[in-house]
Structure 1
Amino acid sequence: MSTAAEIALVVVALGFVLSRQLSSRPLEEKSSFRVPLILAAVGLFSGGLIDRDHLAMSVTLLVAGLVVALGSGVVRALTVRVWRAEDGTLWRGGTAWTLAAWVSSVLLRVGLVVAGHVTGAASEGGGLLLFLGLTLVVQNALVVYRARTLVPAPAVQAVAV
C-alpha cells in the first residue's frame, strides 16, 4: 500500500473513530477491539516501520511512537464517561476532554513524523496505522475495564398495593 493510501486510510479511520468516540452510545465489549486490531495489524504488516539507512533514529522514533500511543490511550480512556443505564446496559461517551486528548495525540504523532523527516529517517504510513490501532486498543481496554467495575444497578422491586 502506498504512503498516500495509508495516510488517506488513517484520515478516514480517524474521522470514523472520532465521530463514534464523541457520541454517547452503548458499550459493546466484543466489537471494541475489532477495528483497532485490524488497523494495528495492517500497520504492522505493511512494512516500512524501520528505515535501515537510519536504523538507530528509526528505532528510537518507533519506540517513542509506541510509548506515545500507549500513553495517549490511557489519557483518553480517563476522559471518557462510563455509566450504567437504569436497564443495566453500559454506556460510554466522549467529552470535550476526549477531543482535547485526541488533538494532543495527533499533534504528538505529527511531531514524531516531523522529527523523522528532519533527521532523515523515512516514515511510512504503516507507522500511522500501527499508532492509531494500538492507541485505540489501549483506550478501549481501559474503558471496558472501567465499565466492568461499575456497581450493577439495584434491582427494581415491585411494590404491593
Structure 2
Amino acid sequence: MSGLNALVIVAVVVFVVVRQCSARRLSDDRRWWILPGILLFMSLREPGLTDPHREALSAAALGVELVVGLVTGAGWGWTVRLWREPDGSLWSRGTKATVLVWTGGLVLRASLYGAARLMGIHQGPGALMAALALTLLVRGGVTTWRARQVAPAYGGAADGMPSSPWKERV
C-alpha cells in the first residue's frame, strides 16, 4: 500500500503544479476541497502517521510539517495571479513567486524529513500526504476567497494589474 500512496503523492504533485503554472479558467466549482479531502482520508488510514517508538518527537515533527503545509498553501494561494476576461470569465496563473513558495515548501519538507531521520524518527507516506492535503486545502480556500473579491472585467483590471491582450490558453 505504501508504494501506491507514494505514486498517488507524486501524481497529485505533478498534476497540481502543471495546472497552477499555466493559465487556466476557474469555474464556479464548489468542490475544490474534494481532492485534499481524499488525500487526508488516505493519510489517516495509512499506518505509520507517527513513529510508535518515538511518539512525542514524531508528533512534533508531524505538527511542524503540517504548519509548513499550512504556510505553503497560504503563500501559494496569495501569489497566484487572478484576472477577469472581458467576457467575465475568471482566470488564474501561478507567478514566479508561486514557484518560489512551492519550491521553498518542498525544500523545507525535505529538510524536516532529513532532520527526523537523523533523530531516528520514521515517518511514513501518511505524514507527507497529510501535509500535502493541508497545503492544497488552504491554497484552494485562499484562491476561492480571493476569486470572490476580483472585480468584474468592466470595472477595471483585477488585482491591480492591467489585462494583457494575449494569454496562454490551456
TM-score normalised to structure 1 length: 0.89
Q: C-alpha displacement at 1:80, in angstroms?
A: 0.3
CA deviation digits over 1:113-159, x for unaligned, max 9? 1111111111000111111111011011101101101122338xxxx
Equivalent in the alignment of 1:16: 15
- Structure of greater Rg: 1
CA deviation digits over 1:26-69, x for unaligned, max 9? 11342422222211221122231111210111010011011101
Equivalent in the alignment of 1:159: none
Secondary structure (helix, strand or coil) at the match of 2:66 reads: helix
Whole-Å Cα distance in 1 between the matches of residues 148 and 131 of structure 2?
A: 26
Uncovered stretches (5+) of structure 2, i.e. residues with no partner: 156-170
Whole-Å Cα distance in 1 between the matches of residues 93 and 31 of structure 2?
A: 16
Equivalent in the alignment of 2:6: 7
CA deviation digits over 1:99-118, x for unaligned, max 9? 12111111111111111111
How many aligned positions are there? Answer: 154
The 4+ residue runs of structure 1 with deviation greater than 6 A are: none
Whole-Å Cα distance in 1 between the matches of residues 50 and 39 of structure 2?
A: 18
Matched-pair contact (CA < 8 Å) for 2:86–2:153 = yes
Secondary structure (helix, strand or coil) at the match of 2:19 reads: helix
Equivalent in the alignment of 2:61: 61
Whole-Å Cα distance in 2 between the matches of residues 72 and 66 of structure 1?
A: 10
Matched-pair contact (CA < 8 Å) for 1:33–1:140 = yes
Q: How does 1:121-132 map to 2 (within 5 A)?
A: 121-132=121-132
* Aligned alpha-carbon RMSD (Å): 1.5
Secondary structure (helix, strand or coil) at the match of 2:53 reads: helix
Equivalent in the alignment of 1:87: 87
Matched-pair contact (CA < 8 Å) for 1:7–1:128 = no
Uncovered stretches (5+) of structure 1, i.e. residues with no partner: 156-161
